[in-house]
Amino acid sequence: MKRILKKYPVLLVLILMACNSSDDNRPPEPIPENSIVIQNAFPNLRFSRPLDFQSPSDGTNRIFIVEQGGTIKVFPNDETASESTNFLDIQNNTVSENELGLLGLAFHPNYSANGLFYVTYTPSSDLAVVSSFRVSSSDPNVADPNSETILLRIPQPFTNHNGGQLAFGADGYLYFASGDGGSAGDPQGNAQNLTNLLGKILRIDVDRTENGLAYAIPADNPFLSSGSARHEIYAYGLRNPWRFSFDVQTNVLWAGDVGQNEIEEIDIIENGGNYGWNTLEGTRCFEADTCDTNGLIAPVFEYDQTAGDRSITGGYVYRGQLIPSLQGLYIYGDFVSGRIWGLSTNLGGELTNQLLISSALFISSFGTDANNELYVCAFDGAIYKFVENP
């Protein structure tokens, strides 16, 4: 064998290439046009401005839909379901208009044992809070409205860009997305200001308490040793991160960040990362011919607004079983245009992006069920499921 390789060195290169290659490093096969569709998953149910779709890992196969006005609906994951009930109703404590309201939901990883879940909402036009609640001890489909513990209070200088996504990482910590405080152009410079919680991804430990807080700070949070920066900050320099998610296979954190007037971006969120706003919008200097990009992390993908796509809705890396052609693609959409794309997740090579569906829906959020199948929340009041075109 050694003599063969010495005589034919190209053969050695080919063997090494074959040994070092994997399916993850190859571009995905193009998905045939119109082969993937979304269909009304629960045709007998309607929702009011649904903003989040969650399913706890508790073996019950239930779906929870967050409505912006201040309610969380629960029902069985069954396409014939004809009724949803109020799991939580905090309408009387929620200001809901424009981008305000009940914005996010996450179930504790040990929800089946401790009954804890977390929400973010705006009790007033100038404040956002992250709170924990507990399920009723007598009814698994009803939360105890008196069990609220407010973990974080985040003043909001304007009424837009409130973020609101909540999710637990594989590390067991709670992650939260906060917008830059609103208006336009981040006039207060919040996203780059480490002394406040705006324009950030935050990370806290909800299983411990310390220093008079209702939570603790993870030991590897990037600014733990800083005397001035907020210790809850995990990443910063974001404008309005509208939906992030963890890839359940790789634990990579994907986020969509809504742009100003030119660029929508997709980021891989890293511990301590600075994503550039408002120095950059995507990879372009914001309202300047030149800018200092030293230390800033560029998006892994961006698209401009010239085709009518004007507000990214971050999605999920598909890890379900019903649609093999979507396996490993990051599925995301645009709230304004209703278009849905699939982005390859080969971060070591050239990313490919493919238009999958032109829906004309106002896509507010994506979500996954207990089997990692993918759904879409839309402002027409329906919940849609990704399926292969029959």
The C-alpha atoms of residue 75 and residue 44 are separated, in whole angstroms, by 12
Pairing of strands 339-343, 312-317: unpaired
d(CA 229, CA 318): 36
**Amino acid symbol at 151:** L
Q: In this structure, which amino acid lies at residue 277?
A: W
pLDDT band at 26 (very low <50, low <70, confident <90, very high): low
Please state the φ and ψ torsions of residue 186, each to the nearest 5 degrees: 50, 65
Q: Per residue in 319-345, pLDDT tens? A: 999 999 999 999 999 999 999 999 999
Q: Write down the architecture of domain 39-309 according to CATH.
A: 6 Propeller (2.120)
What is residue 25's predicted lDDT score, i.e. its pLDDT? 58
Q: Which residue type sits at 103? A: L
Cα(376)–Cα(339) distance, integer angstroms: 12
Encode pLDDT of 235-263 as tens digits: 999 999 999 999 999 999 999 999 999 99
Say what the pLDDT of residue 118 is: 98
Q: What is the average per-residue pLDDT within 203-229? A: 97
Terminal Cα-to-Cα distance of the chain (whole angstroms): 51
Write out pLDDT tens, residues 116-170: 999 999 999 999 999 999 999 999 999 999 999 999 999 999 999 999 999 999 9
Our measurement of the distance from residue 341's CA atom to the centroid of its chain's CA atoms, rounded to an integer in Å, reads 15
Chain-wide mean pLDDT for the chain?
A: 93
Helix (H, G, I), strand (E, B) or coil at 89: strand
What is the rounded CA–CA span in Å between residue 340 and residue 381?
18
Identify the DSSP state of 186. Answer: -
Query: What is the rounded average pLDDT of the residues 51-59?
Result: 96
pLDDT in tens, 286-305: 999 999 999 999 999 999 99
| pLDDT surpassing 80 at residue 28 | no
Which pTM does this prediction carry? Answer: 0.92
What sign has the CA pseudo-torsion 21, 22, 24, 28? Answer: positive
Question: Does residue 308 or residue 28 have the better pLDDT?
Answer: 308
75-117 pLDDT, tens per residue?
999 999 999 999 999 999 999 999 999 999 999 999 999 999 9
Half-sphere exposure (CA, 13 Å, Cβ side) for 3?
A: 0
